[in-house]
């Protein structure tokens, strides 16, 4: 249970339908947070995933020798490089491929998995759930960054750990989860006022 239950709207696990929920609340103004109370969260997630199309993706948090982190600007939001896995492609291989394609660099080393994130979106009229596997990566080159414009990426930039305020103010909740796992900010934004 959340610590401050009054901030959340409780949803009954027995009647929850992710597609209907997404279509009803997506794009509506306001900061509303919901939680589904169930006895086994992992089993419940498996049940939800059986009821919707799941897209597998992978991406990376790339660090250069100066200790800077690589971000992309896509569709008016700061993001981390990531993308859908190709058929039969391993998660680690796909993560490196996507970073290299989207940013125009060659990854020198792929490290441990950071975390998995989940988010929903509308793909040609169908609500889908994207599960993304995130990995730490090293880049030791000095080449010019090149955004993959055909993917809607207009900028690729390095940011120092203490200078990512612009990203925190204009990114997705799932990216905030990755940044939190990497300890890239000290004060996690509070979703609702006290």
Same domain for 143 and 81: yes
Q: Which of 147-156, 166-175, 180-189 comes out lowest in average pLDDT? A: 180-189
Q: DSSP assignment, residue 16? A: -
Same domain for 81 and 175: yes
Same domain for 72 and 8: no
Provide the pLDDT for residue 28: 65
169 falls within a domain: yes
Provide the pLDDT for residue 37: 74
Same domain for 44 and 92: no
| CB environment 115-149: b (16+ within 10 A), e (fewer) | eebeeeeeeeeebbbbbbbbbbbebeeeeebebbe
Count of structural domains, the chain: 2
Mean pLDDT of 28-32: 60
- Residue 169's φ and ψ, nearest 5 degrees, are -75, -20
Beta bridge partners of 64: none
Note the pLDDT tens digit of each residue in 39-98: 888 888 888 888 899 999 999 999 999 999 999 999 999 999 999 999 999 999 999 999
Q: Which domain range does residue 80 map to? A: 53-181
Identify the residue with better confidence: 162 or 11: 162
- Who contacts 95 (Cβ-Cβ below 8 Å, separation ≥6)? 58, 59, 60, 82, 110, 133, 134, 135, 137
Note the pLDDT tens digit of each residue in 113-157: 999 999 888 888 888 999 999 999 999 988 889 999 999 999 999
Same domain for 114 and 147: yes
Note the pLDDT tens digit of each residue in 17-29: 777 777 777 766 6
16 falls within a domain: yes
Same domain for 140 and 68: yes
Same domain for 113 and 36: no
CATH of the domain at 129: 3.90.79.10
Cα distance between residue 84 and residue 53, in whole Å? 13
Provide the pLDDT for residue 4: 66
190: pLDDT strictly greater than 60: no
């Amino acid at each position: 249970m959340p610590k401050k239950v009054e901030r959340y709207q409780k949803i009954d696990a027995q009647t929850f339908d992710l597609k209907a929920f997404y279509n009803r609340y997506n794009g509506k103004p306001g900061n509303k947070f919901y939680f589904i109370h169930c006895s086994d969260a992992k089993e419940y997630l498996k049940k939800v995933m059986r009821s919707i199309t799941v897209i597998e993706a992978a991406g990376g948090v790339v660090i250069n020798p100066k200790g800077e982190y690589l971000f992309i600007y896509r569709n008016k939001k700061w993001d981390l490089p990531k993308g859908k896995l190709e058929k039969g492609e391993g998660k680690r291989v796909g993560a490196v491929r996507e970073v290299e394609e989207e940013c125009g660099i060659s990854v020198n080393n792929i490290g441990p998995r950071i975390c998995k994130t989940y988010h929903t979106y509308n793909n040609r009229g169908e609500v889908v759930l994207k599960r993304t596997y995130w990995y730490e990566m090293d880049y030791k080159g000095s080449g010019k960054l090149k955004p993959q414009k055909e993917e809607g990426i207009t900028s690729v930039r390095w940011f120092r750990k203490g200078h990512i305020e612009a990203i925190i103010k204009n990114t997705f909740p799932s990216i905030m989860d990755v940044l939190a796992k990497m300890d890239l900010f000290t004060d996690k934004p509070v979703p609702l006022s006290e």
